[in-house]
Amino acid sequence: MDIKKKIKWGILILFIIALTILYKFYNPATNIYFPKCPFRELTGFKCPGCGSQRAIHYLLNFEIYEAIKENALLVLSIPYLLTGFIFDLIKNPNVELLKWRKIFFGEKPIYIILIIIVAFWILRNTTYCQQYI
Amino acid sequence: MKKYFYTDGTDKFGPFTLEELKEKNISRETQVWFQELGKWKPAGNVPELSEIFELSPPPIAKTNLINNNKENINNRKPPKTWLVESILVTIFCCLPFGIAGIVNASKVESRFYAGDIDEANRASQEAYKWTKIAFWIGIAVAVIYLIITIIGVVSGY
């Protein structure tokens, strides 16, 4: 790895550590310095990402239920995203691994993800689901 | 003097001398015949006729390349799709750009497994571009928001 890449990764890791500390000790729900969702400010509707800052705060304090209530999509996607991240890191996967990669991260699963995001977006703005997600 | 014949698949033409045959614009795939040859053969496979093709480029092997790629594709890793990063930016900041990233991620997969590596690489770069744009816009919006809030607090609103 060349030096430029190392610096880039170093800054990114420091940035993530700083954010982790920030989100653990400050609750975005009660602190005015955290950015608000522009989509929600403008339209009054939630976007699929609304509540993710609060969800991170609760997750870092191990309050899983509170986190799910703020943004279920975020909490449920964490294991999937971690798996995807690990698959990305494997340089020369064998045929077996590639098969699994295709099953979970291939073209069709990506379409399913898009459908889930849009469905979550619509459902969380309906009066019936509002109070849950 | 050798006499050559060629065929377009239905009709046969000839006899021609080698000089005459050169004028006929035949390709490496054109079937030719002369007495010593015994049976019809593609002109490209006949050493005596090689001088006809000296100036014409060999056939483009693109279709072959795609077929070869297809055989190896299941042993190879597709280019980076940026799917994880795209989903993260969708959830954390910039929905439209995140979605653009996810759509390109699916394009990387479909193009790669169709054997079109070049297109897959292009889609990979496109996905990277959108996640990068989303990442920096997210940071910019957060910083601008923070500055405005601080100004607001300091000036007493």
* Tens digit of each residue's pLDDT (9 = 90 or more) over A22-70: 999 999 999 888 998 888 989 999 999 999 999 999 999 999 999 999 9
Does a structural domain hold residue A128? no
Please report the pLDDT score of residue B58 as a whole number: 67
* Average pLDDT value for residue range A74-82: 95
Distance in angstroms (rounded) separating the CA atoms of residues B12 and B144: 79
Q: What is the DSSP string of B16-76?
A: E-HHHHHTTT--TTSEEE-GGG-S-EEGGG-GGGGGGGTTSPPPP-HHHHHHHHHHHGGGS
Where in the sequence is the domain holding A26, given as residue range(s)?
3-123
Number of domains in chain A: 1
Contact assignment for B90 to A88 by CB distance below 8 Å: no
Helix (H) or strand (E) holding B6: strand B4-7
Instruction: For strands B12-16 and B31-33, give the pairing.
Output: unpaired
ipTM: 0.88
Cα dihedral B110→B113→B114→B117 (10° resolution): 90
Does a structural domain hold residue A129? no
A114 touches chain B (CB under 8 A): yes
- Omega before B59 cis (within 30°)? no
Does a structural domain hold residue A63? yes
Does a structural domain hold residue A32? yes
Taking only the tens of pLDDT, chain B with its 157 residues reads: 778 888 887 888 888 888 888 888 788 888 888 888 888 888 888 888 887 777 776 666 555 555 555 667 778 888 999 999 999 999 887 788 999 999 999 999 999 998 889 999 999 999 999 999 999 999 999 999 999 999 988 887 6
A and B: number of Cβ contacts within 8 A:
76
- Give the position of tokens 């279920």: A72
Contact assignment for A95 to B110 by CB distance below 8 Å: no
Contact assignment for A33 to B77 by CB distance below 8 Å: no
Q: At what angle do helices A72-89 and B83-92 cross, to 10 degrees?
A: 150
Do B137 and B93 form a contact (C-beta atoms < 8 A)?
yes
**Cα four-point dihedral sign A115, A121, A124, A127:** negative
